[in-house]
Amino acid sequence: MFRIFSSFFKTLVWDKSSFKFALGVWLGLSFSIAVILSTIGLMDGFVSAMRTGLKQSSGDLSFYSRGGFFQMEPKTLDSLKEMGIEEMTASIETQAFVVHNETSKGISIKGVDALSFKKVTSKELGLEPDSVVVGDELASSLGIGVGDEIVLVLAKGNKELQGLPLLKRFRVSGVVDHGIYQKDLRYVYMNRSELAQMLGVGSKVNLYAFNLPKEREPTNKEQRPAAIDRLRFEVEDTLGIDFRVKPYWYDFSSLLEAVEIEKLTIGLILQVIVVISIFNVLSFVTFLNERKSREIFLFQALGMSASRLRKTWLSLVLCLWVISCAFSLAFVELFDFALGNLSVLQLPGDVYYLGTLSLSLDRGDYLLVFSGALVWLVLIVAFALYRMNKKSVLHGLRKEFA
């Protein structure tokens, strides 16, 4: 079978004009497949980058009291530990203004304990006494560098803006990158004890964050959000109606759902590109069938049945599909490199939340796109070959040797 296919391929394709046609069809199909893969990878990359950035600033889950600042009871903490939640970080979050070089900007101050915060979020802040760590976008927009001094303006206590504002000067000890534009533009970190003293709240906090316990980690990464949701409901039952528990993606859940829907819609629409490329494959097959009709007749005259001829044609087309799928991976790598290195492809973070994107593809994505292209290819080309090869040997004899 392989010897027949090899002879068939060399006879039909191994000349200059046919090879150029085959090369163009091959590159066109490769590029079409790569476009769909890159689109899906772009959407998945956006979701992956968003989830990673959100998790790094808040852990898997967090909860707060509807009444404002609170102090956890030992009995409640024991109940959470019984659920496997060992590592938690308490923080104070409040709104304020930062002033630097006669420019002010609204920010969100987060008072954290650096050690427990690192255990939950894996982000090391390097906080020092009388110092703060600012988001890199905030530092860029205000011209703040490490070692500079800034002034924080915030209200005292937990009664909104009642009373005179409190102004205090801090030194910038570091710059943090969350990977999400809004957080990098708004977040300022400082020691929780210092912020609590400024606000006069004592040992009370208004936010707790924690991760999914290791024993609850699912084997499949895609099942992790469902596991987090299950733990969320359990923690809500334990804390009671006065507390609200939310996963790390809660504030951006609508956006993430919209991206998933958009990925499916665009993927279906872009199938048109693959279909057009497959019609180019059909044109290539028709071109060879007409131009090489004498050679095809000789194969039939030497005993190749119509069924065997169709199978050989399909083998040639499938070989083209395999090469196209393989070469589309090179296109995908090229697109990924361009996204990460070409300034013209940098995204405006205030619109898209992320400054840069990378492609994120798993085996399921490759299987879906490659199999989809194969189904279209077989359906269109097989039908054409069936009609094309219904001609008898006698028809070829009349046409070529009459």
**How far apart are alpha carbons 78 and 318 in whole angstroms?**
62
- Per-residue confidence (pLDDT) for residue 133, from 0 to 100: 92
Contact criterion met (CB below 8 Å) for 224 and 60: no
Token duo for residue 270: 């872009």
Residue 3's Cβ-count burial label (10 Å; 0-12, 13-18, 19+) is exposed
- Per-residue confidence (pLDDT) for residue 393, from 0 to 100: 47
- Per-residue confidence (pLDDT) for residue 134, from 0 to 100: 92
**Residue in 83, 92, 74, 113 with CA at minimum distance from that of residue 211:** 83
* DSSP-assigned beta bridge partners for residue 172: 132
Residue ranges in the chain modelled with pLDDT below 70: 1-19, 156-164, 288-310, 343-353, 355, 385-402
Predicted structure pTM score: 0.73
- Per-residue confidence (pLDDT) for residue 345, from 0 to 100: 66
**How far apart are alpha carbons 138 and 186 in whole angstroms?**
6
- Residue 384's CB is within 10 A of a number of other CB atoms, namely 18
3 state SS for 205-235: ECEEEECCCHHHCCCCHHHHHHHHHHHHHHH
Segment 59-90, tens digit of pLDDT: 899 999 888 898 888 888 888 888 888 888 99
Which residues fall within 8 angstroms of residue 378, CB to CB, at 6 or more apart?
314
Contact criterion met (CB below 8 Å) for 245 and 62: yes
- Per-residue confidence (pLDDT) for residue 388, from 0 to 100: 61
- Per-residue confidence (pLDDT) for residue 189, from 0 to 100: 93
Token duo for residue 280: 């180019």
